[in-house]
Amino acid sequence: MSLKFIEEFDNASTKTAPGSRGIGILNIFTVVGCIIAVPFTFGTSLFGLLAVPIYAALQSIANETYRTRLFTEIQTQIIAEKEGLFNTPRLRRRVSSAPIIDEEPIDETDDIDQENSDDK
């Protein structure tokens, strides 16, 4: 395995999904909003805090799915390199020594004209 794949693996293990940061910000707004609303809702806004673990689970699922996709890409590249799919030699055509036969093109206009005259 080349050094390139080791670096890609290290980078992939630390990356997060593109929407992960947005979900984290949503968690912060949810917590702050629920705490600020406590005096106005007589404490019932604290039930909104139950959404935080759900959002955090979605964030975790998004990150793991994203990392799995990156790892799968790396694994596919390693297998392709190992099998030599990127190092294919140029294909050579075999040229036979058989003589080329010149054929005269068939003039079918006479046949078509005869068929059309028979239909009338």
Per-residue pLDDT band for 11 (boundaries 50, 70, 90) equals confident
- Rounded to two decimals, the pTM is 0.58
DSSP 6: H
- pLDDT tens digit sequence for 79-89: 888 777 766 55
Q: Please give the full DSSP string across 11-79, using - where no structure is assigned.
A: HHHH---TTHHHHHHHHHHHHHHHHHTHHHHTTGGGGGGGHHHHHHHHHHHHHHHHHHHHHHHHHHHHH
